[in-house]
Structure 1
Amino acid sequence: MGDRWKVEVDHSICIGSGLCAGSSPEWFQLGASNKAEPRHAEVDAEEAVLNAAETCPVEAIALRRADSGELVFPPDD
């Protein structure tokens, strides 16, 4: 079995730009509050999910390893 990621959106900083949903509608959507929502709380580690997270202008999307909780994105500076 490959790596799995937990997908989290911090609604306190999400500005609802829709870039994640526009670039990867299979992984993200805008919810009723016009904030990003992951379509699945846990996903297989895929480049498309990482790319969508990277498009967020305010880094509101976090990806963590499902098994350890280790942060994958955004980078821990």
Structure 2
Amino acid sequence: MGPYDDPHIRDILLPYARAHLTTDYVEYTEQGVEQILFETLASVPLADATSFLLPTDPFEALAKHLDSLNLTPYQE
């Protein structure tokens, strides 16, 4: 039997080892990604600020595009 097999010593040392000697890699990765994204990404405007025309509605643009394709309804 080794010196660390005693349940009392194990109960004392295991929480300490988990708190101070191990790394939570999921949390570490999430913090790193959050820091990179926060420091490097900038917001991009959805519409051109110098344009004289109002931006078109994406749904209307899609509807016009689909109408121009002359799609026929599916028949079973």
TM-score range, shorter chain: under 0.3
Q: Judging by fraction of residues, say which structure has more strand.
A: 1
Q: TM-score, normalised by structure 1?
A: 0.17
Which protein has the larger Cα radius of gyration, Structure 1 or Structure 2?
2
Q: Judging by fraction of residues, say which structure has more helix.
A: 2
Q: TM-score, normalised by structure 2?
A: 0.18
Higher RCO, 1 vs 2 (CA within 8 Å, ≥6 residues apart): 1
